[in-house]
Structure 1
Amino acid sequence: MTNAVRKEIMPGVFLTSFRTKKFKTGLLSMNLLTPLKAASASKNAMLPSVLRRGTARYPDMEQLSAALDSLYGAQIESVVRKKGEVQCVGFVSSFIDEALTPGQEKLLEPVADLLGELLLSPATRNGRFYTEYVEGEKNNLKDRIRAIVNDKRQYADKRLVELMCREEDYSVDKLGSEEAASAVSGQKLFEQYNRLLASSRLELFYSGSASPERVEGAMLYALESLPRPGATEPVDTAVKKAAPEEPQVVTESMDVTQGKLAIGFRLGGRGAPDYPAQTLFHTAYGGTSTSKLFLNVREKLSLCYFASSALHRSKGILTVSSGIEFKNYEKARDEILAQLKAIQEGKLEDWELEAAKRSVVNAMRSTLDSQTRMEDFYLGQALEELPYGPMEFAAQIEKVTAEEIRRAAEAARLDTIYFLRGPDKGGE
């Protein structure tokens, strides 16, 4: 069994502690969870970067960096994530484990205090964030949003989700949009900050050698001024929809030399009983270098430069990403769908099933070798209210049968086909 301990330590504040002496560092994170909405996504995405610019005690990057240096080079990074239809914004800190500090000097408490300051006592002027900090991070955010189009594979995957989920909040990018980012003012951002503090659920995670009781005490002290006037806003990772009777097909043109074919499927909902089988279905279909998409569509038939699938666990959808010659659109599309049909018809060899299981089990083992991967794993578990750890999930994977994988694949329904091609080139 996992030694992760989860507890609500304040109203709407949850702490997951994973005690281990395996690492030379400790990791401490805090994430505000809020529904993913187009109107607020850019403000939320900008917020942790603005907060990371300074606190009331350390009002600029130079002083804040000096404070971190005094904690033996501790690091604090701002993070923005999308888990289903929930936006997660906050900080992740890494610092030397106390067993390695001179005289085993305590670092957990001062690092927790500094995180608390970043969240609750930001650098302000006349009751607002510094204008220069807001404008600087606004430009940084817009640059990050613009950069997505330069990676055509990432852009095609993003467009697929936007089209597939156009009437759902899942279509919203974790960074929001450039237009929304441009409209953010210091006053609007400060209002959103206060709204999040008062109403958002706060998820804390710790991995290191300290006891859960000590971590709880450190976080309670660091967050004692957190405003909690009422119940926190509920969050749900996803609202499910069925696939349309006829899939939508969208073709767009850009100045590209390689076509990008992205295909989306609805999986008929989510739930703990289905998740192990869904995971193995995705893994066998396009999740690894031993998958059907890789070995057949890419290697055997040479129809794609790359072909892989991604399971959007919290949303209950699966997407396929591929790079193709423009002229191979129909052949690649048909073969990608044919490989899905093969799994739906139970055409999965024993070695394919075993390779998929080994891939997932090894991924779960490697999760325990990385504090950042553990933190991300347990954040997802907390959102979905799933109580098991990586190795418990690995044990569930080992028990999945080929028939359960077939049923998981059978539930997949084609929703959207998106093709990005060059101008005046062949294709659909």
Structure 2
Amino acid sequence: MGLKLDREIIADGVGFTEITDPKLRTSVLKIKFVTELSGETAQLNSIVSQLIPSSNSRIKTYSEMSDRLDALYGSSLYSDTSKNGDCQTITVSADCIDNRFAFDSEDILGELLDIINDCIFSPNTDENGFDKTEFELKRRELIESIYSDINNKRWYAMLRAQRHIFKGEPGEYSVYGTVENAEKITPRQAYDAYLWLLKTAVIEIYFVSPVTDHSAKERFRKMFSGMEREVQNVRFRSVSPLKAEVCRVTEKVKMKQTKVIMAFKSATDSKYAATVMARLFGGTPFSKLFSNVREKMSLCYYCAASYVFSKGTMFVESGVETENTEKLISEVQNQLDSIKNGGFTDEEFENTVRYLINLVNGVEDSPGSVVTWYFSGRCSSDEVSPEEYIRRLEKLTREDIIAAARSFSLDTVYVMEADADSEEDDDE
């Protein structure tokens, strides 16, 4: 692992991280706008995310943008919106071949940065906000994305469950907002939302390239120089409080397979122990939930656990026949209680640690995963290298895992119950 990493604050609330990896042949840029997730702004920020890289004041349509990028040796410019705890992150990404491989010493990176500069600071707008044609196109795509989430019943169950698990917290909202709110957005509202985002968001820029090249950093320093910003600090980590009583919610939906989401909460700061414990519990093909609840007891179609450190919450997702719902819920709790009481072998513990180490060893396989790694570390105030992360995993003991398990308590049980008369298919 021979990465070189350097981070610098280049403007008010704007961090720039340069990552050099000699084995690469391309350069990758990711600009992350981080703001608090809100039911009022989620859909606005999501449509902004789609509009910014699709056109600008010089390149007026998505089709023209595609042609221009193709001419730059197949460069790409795209975006996505994600949820990190209570935060919404809008990421504008770009990649291009390294200038060394271009003909006639063409400055591919410089030309791509010109396009990005226009996309961010001179978007495709008129007196009514974003260009109406491009806006309507992207709003339709946003609404289709929301419907897509609804049609994926496994994902939809998680979205519905989070409304109860994180009730009263920003984390309760979908990162895409709702269809009803998306349909009401105007080009002016979207543009105003973008101007507010540009002014107030915490911005983290990552540039990954095969050679040390400060040109991107200097370009962004110049872009943001003199810009008046009123950065709204965000809480990357906001542990969700445990409810006084377990919240139990059942909703009937037209589908064939019942979905069960269980949320366990913990205020532990022992991220590494909790991460390994969650994997031991239900995050590997040999975990307690997979081996016992799914394979031996045949109580479900799938049963998996995942841990979100930023919210101090562990989720267990299951797909079951309706008549097995209560048995499943009881057995999931039994399996966690078993870990709390040390009911796992040294081999299971060691295999789980090795499984995680193998995942970490793959971080540097792609520029995108490298950026995800260091941005996740920044969100959890634990920006360590993969090597250091592995060292910390290797120091964990059985007692650490037991203590982590004992810190978790059941908070919410959400059941999306299948309508017995439904003929609809759903994801298993």
**TM-score calculated relative to the size of structure 1:** 0.94
Alpha carbon RMSD of aligned pairs, Å? 1.8
Matched residues, percent identical?
Answer: 27
SS at match of 1:38: coil
Q: CA deviation at 1:101?
A: 2.5
- State the distance in 2 between where 1:178 and 1:340 align: 38
- State the distance in 1 between where 2:374 and 2:20 align: 13
- Whether the 8 Å contact between 2:237 and 2:309 is mirrored in structure 1 is no
- Whether the 8 Å contact between 2:31 and 2:91 is mirrored in structure 1 is yes
- Whether the 8 Å contact between 1:2 and 1:389 is mirrored in structure 2 is no
Q: Would you say 1:417 and 2:375 are equivalent positions?
A: no
Which residue of 312, 320, 331 corresponds with 1:316?
A: 312
Per-residue displacement from partner, 1:83-142 (whole Å, max 9, x unpaired)?
111111131112112343335543322222222221111111236211122222112111
Counterpart AA for 2:254: D
Deviates more, 1:336-345 or 1:49-58: 49-58
- Whether the 8 Å contact between 1:12 and 1:201 is mirrored in structure 2 is yes
The equivalent of 1:385 in structure 2 is 381
SS at match of 2:365: coil
Q: Unpaired runs of 5+ in structure 2?
A: 422-428
The equivalent of 1:290 in structure 2 is 286
Q: CA deviation at 1:230?
A: 3.9
- State the distance in 1 between where 2:74 and 2:3 align: 30
- Whether the 8 Å contact between 1:7 and 1:16 is mirrored in structure 2 is yes
SS at match of 1:314: helix
Counterpart AA for 1:146: Y
Per-residue displacement from partner, 1:222-263 (whole Å, max 9, x unpaired)?
x246x6324411011243233123211111111221111110
The equivalent of 2:236 in structure 1 is 237
- Whether the 8 Å contact between 1:2 and 1:388 is mirrored in structure 2 is no
- State the distance in 1 between where 2:209 and 2:227 align: 28
- Whether the 8 Å contact between 2:129 and 2:189 is mirrored in structure 1 is no
Q: CA deviation at 1:389?
A: 2.1
Q: Would you say 1:203 and 2:204 are equivalent positions?
A: yes
* Aligned 1:41-60 pairs, distance under 5 A: 41-60=42-61
- State the distance in 1 between where 2:52 and 2:230 align: 24
- Whether the 8 Å contact between 2:128 and 2:187 is mirrored in structure 1 is no
Counterpart AA for 2:363: T
- State the distance in 1 between where 2:10 and 2:288 align: 46
* Aligned 1:193-342 pairs, distance under 5 A: 193-211=194-212, 213-221=214-222, 223-224=223-224, 228-269=227-268, 271=269, 274-342=270-338
Number of corresponding residues: 420
Q: CA deviation at 1:369?
A: 0.5
The equivalent of 2:366 in structure 1 is 370
SS at match of 2:342: coil
Counterpart AA for 2:192: E
Counterpart AA for 1:215: A
Q: Unpaired runs of 5+ in structure 1?
A: none
Structure 1 residues 99 and 402, CA gap change in structure 2 (3 angstroms): farther
The equivalent of 2:90 in structure 1 is 89
**TM-score calculated relative to the size of structure 2:** 0.94
Structure 1 residues 144 and 230, CA gap change in structure 2 (3 angstroms): closer
Counterpart AA for 2:326: E
- State the distance in 2 between where 1:224 and 1:248 align: 46
The equivalent of 1:159 in structure 2 is 160
The equivalent of 1:13 in structure 2 is 14
Q: CA deviation at 1:2?
A: 5.5
The equivalent of 1:133 in structure 2 is 134
* Aligned 1:59-208 pairs, distance under 5 A: 59-102=60-103, 105-126=106-127, 128-208=129-209
